[in-house]
Amino acid sequence: MMSDAKVHEIDRIFRKLEMEIRNSYDRLAFFKHNGVRILKTRRSHGKSKFVPANKIRQQLKINEEQFAGLISCDVSKQDYIRILTDKGLIANPKQESKPAS
């Protein structure tokens, strides 16, 4: 089980997913798709080199394998969008265009 991730790994995920970053008491990151905010995550500005990976992973709505893939670059932004679409967090354009019966 994953316990901690390095701060630079989390920041790299934020950049890869082109998340909107805001620095307040914590570092907030917002994932948007087609202009719609899908989710947000946060990490501390603390002096530690590590952040609790499970919290970030849960906020990103992914499992440990997918999280590891984001860190190792095996999971792309498009893959991440597909994961969130499969979970129903992002509307599937194919379903939206179906005519009402």
Query: pLDDT tens digits, residue range 5-17?
Result: 888 889 999 999 9
Report the distance separating Cα 74 and Cα 26, nearest Å: 28
Q: Is the pTM of this model over 0.95?
A: no
pLDDT at 37: 94
Cα–Cα distances in Å, from 49 out to 12, 18, 46?
A: 14, 22, 8
Q: What is the mean pLDDT of residues 55-74?
A: 93
Over range 31-42, report the average pLDDT. 93
Question: Residue 49 — pLDDT band, cuts 50, 70, 90?
Answer: confident
Number of other CB atoms surrounding residue 100 within 10 Å:
3
Report how far residue 42's alpha carbon sits from residue 30's, in angstroms, rounded to the nearest whole number.
Answer: 9
Amino acid at 6: K
Asked whether 31 and 39 are in contact (CB, 8 A), the reply is: yes
